[in-house]
């Protein structure tokens, strides 16, 4: 039996007295692409933050590679192979692209491999190489998203959490980013993707979970969910 890369069971979490996540259970297997869909405020970002140690779980478990990582530190989660590309990218806008990318490797000591990974990110996103000295905050939205993904990759993750890949970006930029995610995944990295563009997300992912008011309301193979009339009506503007 394969051990899941990430296994979440009965997770509850929130902010202060306000509970946002109710009994969430989900899995991401090694090498898998899983997407999370759900309307605004459903708790998708909170779930990713809870996985990466930014929001505390009040009950339930987050298990990574068979090891209980519930309420682990941010650094502990990164060391377990999970990198988070947050909603709104959150780059250091007054720092160069190069320095932002290196921030992703802050826990690593393997200098030679860090340099190799940097070359890999630059070959995957040549525009970042051209702009390596530019302040990240002056780049276009699409370039900033590439930089945020590149920064995530600099941690050498085996699971990448991506929150809102396409938000506010032009269709061409989105197309390129989806293509790169495919490439990253082929390299063996599992992906948990939160994405508003449900049609594209389901086309990319192996499986999906629908989060509704902090609970998983549906889950299954992406192909099956994409053909489900309830999903089509709620998220794809099809009735
Ligand atoms: N820092 C915070 N403090 C208090 N409440 C918060 C905080 N962040 C989010 N919330 C609340 O938690 C709920 C879930 O928010 P969350 O950002 O996880 O939703 P989401 O599914 O990611 O939504 P969106 O699609 O708009 O990004 C919302 O009601 C939101 O107002
Ligand atoms: Mg969100």
Q: Which of 43, 162, 168 to mutate to test the pocket of ligand 1 (most atoms within 8 A of CB)?
A: 43
For the chain, the structural domain boundaries read 6-81+157-235, 95-156
Q: Which of 14, 44, 192 to mutate to test the pocket of ligand 1 (most atoms within 8 A of CB)?
A: 44
What would the two tokens of residue 53 be?
A: 């140690």
- With respect to CATH, is domain 6-81+157-235 assigned 3.40.50.970? no
Residue 99: exposure state from Cβ atoms within 10 A (0-12, 13-18, ≥19)? middle
CA–centroid distance, 44 to ligand 2, in Å, is 5
Integer Cα distance of 50 and 163 in angstroms: 13
Integer Cα distance of 68 and 220 in angstroms: 25
Instruction: Confirm whether pTM is higher than 0.75.
Output: yes
Predicted local distance difference test score (pLDDT) of residue 35: 97
Tell me the average confidence (pLDDT) per consecutive run of 10 residues in the chain, 239 residues long. Answer: 93 96 97 95 97 96 96 95 91 94 92 94 96 93 96 97 93 94 96 94 96 96 94 79
């Amino acid at each position: 039996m394969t051990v899941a890369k990430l296994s979440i069971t009965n997770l509850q979490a929130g902010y202060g007295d306000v509970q946002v996540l109710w009994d969430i259970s989900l899995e991401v297997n090694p090498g898998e692409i899983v997407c999370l869909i759900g309307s605004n405020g459903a708790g998708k970002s909170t779930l990713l933050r809870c996985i990466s140690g930014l929001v505390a779980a009040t009950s339930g478990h987050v298990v990574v590679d068979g090891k209980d990582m519930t309420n682990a530190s941010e650094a502990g989660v990164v060391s377990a192979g999970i990198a988070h590309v947050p909603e709104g990218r959150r780059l250091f806008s007054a720092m160069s692209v190069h320095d932002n990318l290196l921030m992703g490797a802050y826990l690593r000591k393997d200098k030679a491999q860090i340099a190799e990974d940097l070359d890999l990110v630059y070959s995957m996103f040549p525009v970042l190489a051209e702009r390596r000295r530019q302040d990240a905050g002056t780049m276009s939205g699409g370039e900033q998203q590439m930089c945020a993904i590149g920064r995530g990759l600099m941690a050498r993750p085996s699971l990448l959490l991506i929150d809102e890949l396409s938000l506010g970006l032009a269709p061409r930029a989105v197309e390129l980013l989806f293509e790169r995610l495919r490439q990253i995944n082929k390299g063996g990295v599992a992906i948990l993707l939160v994405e508003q563009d449900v049609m594209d997300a389901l086309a990319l992912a192996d499986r999906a979970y629908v989060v509704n008011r902090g609970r998983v309301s549906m889950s299954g193979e992406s192909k099956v969910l994409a053909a489900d009339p309830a999903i089509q009506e709620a998220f794809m503007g099809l009735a």
